Structure 1
Amino acid sequence: MKIMSNEMLVAAYRDAKSKGQDADWIRMLQSEVQKRGLNLPKG
């Protein structure tokens, strides 16, 4: 899933987490963030 830029990926993760969206979607985004070696926002 290299469609999103790193910034877009982290923003999508943060948005999904804050809105309490589907847990599978959040897990998928989180695993992609970790694969790319990015830091997730705390919270």
Structure 2
Amino acid sequence: MKIMSNEMLVAAYRDAKKKGQDADWIRLLRIEVQKRGLILTKN
């Protein structure tokens, strides 16, 4: 996976989830978000 800032990572996850992209890609992004200790809640 290419290096992303925290903001880009969360945005990529939300975008992939919204567009219904490949489940493996969504899972990979979610794991990376969790590793970094980020929160995926939407304001």
Q: Same fold (TM over 0.5)?
A: yes
TM-score normalised by structure 2 residue count: 0.89
TM-score normalised by structure 1 residue count: 0.89
- How many residues get paired? 42
Residue identity over aligned pairs, in percent, reads: 86
Structure 1 residue ranges without an equivalent (≥5):
none
Q: For residues 2 and 33 of structure 1, what CA distance do their matches in structure 2 show?
A: 14
Q: For residues 32 and 25 of structure 1, what CA distance do their matches in structure 2 show?
A: 11
CA RMSD of aligned residues (A): 1.5
**Runs of 4+ that moved beyond 4 A:** none
